[in-house]
């Protein structure tokens, strides 16, 4: 096998396409070369309905891992601690079993970075109780890759006094992926 060393590859054709190899060929990247910026990544949901303490900020136990590319999400602490520094797109959504019912007054979803609230969204019941919305929080968060962690907390205000988050829906989810360094 020969070695080609160059600093620039330009297409011969006018369409700008450069093809490396044929279908089924594999390429090995050098140590440190980046093949994708979208890792680590994960998504977790609830494995069962959970009762949230009424009018209390409560850690949400997302314990059903849909995927976890680099084993960075803990189902015992419910925290995402990436092993790669960079900027992360983070999201969470919240859905209560009482959503839209007359007794639910507020549902709030909060993303915490290092145990401090970083981003939040909430749904407030309107006076005619006709609207239904799930709070959905998204954002870009810089993570150092070794000690920074993310978790999700909920706040439910339910007149009945026993609000729950539902498991059988993707309305309750937490995830993140790295978008670059």
pLDDT tens track for 62-84: 999 999 999 999 999 999 999 99
Domain boundaries, the chain: 41-180
Give this prediction's pTM: 0.76
The per-residue pLDDT for 1 is 63
Q: Is the pLDDT of residue 2 over 80?
A: no
| For the ranges 97-101, 115-119, 158-162, 177-181, the one whose mean pLDDT is highest | 115-119
* Mean pLDDT calculated for residue range 30-37: 64
Domain 41-180 indexed as CATH 2.60.120.40: yes
Each residue's pLDDT tens digit, 97-113: 654 455 567 788 999 99
Paired tokens of 21: 């190899």
Task: Give the pLDDT confidence of 85-101 residue by residue, as tens digits.
Answer: 999 999 999 887 654 45
């Amino acid at each position: 096998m020969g070695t080609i060393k160059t600093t620039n590859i330009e297409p011969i054709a006018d369409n700008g396409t450069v093809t490396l190899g044929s279908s089924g060929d594999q390429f090995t990247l050098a140590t440190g070369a980046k093949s994708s910026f979208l890792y680590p990544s994960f998504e977790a949901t609830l494995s069962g309905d959970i009762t949230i303490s009424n009018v209390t900020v409560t850690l949400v136990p997302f314990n059903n891992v849909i995927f976890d590319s680099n084993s960075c999400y803990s189902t015992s602490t419910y925290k995402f601690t990436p092993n790669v520094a960079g900027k992360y797109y983070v999201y969470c959504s919240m859905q209560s079993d009482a959503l839209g019912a007359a007794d639910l007054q507020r549902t709030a979803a909060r993303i915490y970075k290092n145990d401090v609230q970083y981003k939040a969204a909430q749904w407030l019941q309107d006076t005619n109780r006709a609207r239904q919305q799930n709070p959905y929080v998204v954002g870009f968060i810089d993570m150092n890759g070794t000690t920074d962690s993310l978790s999700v907390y909920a706040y439910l205000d339910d007149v009945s006094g026993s609000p729950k988050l539902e498991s059988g829906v993707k309305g309750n989810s937490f995830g993140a992926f790295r978008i670059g360094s």
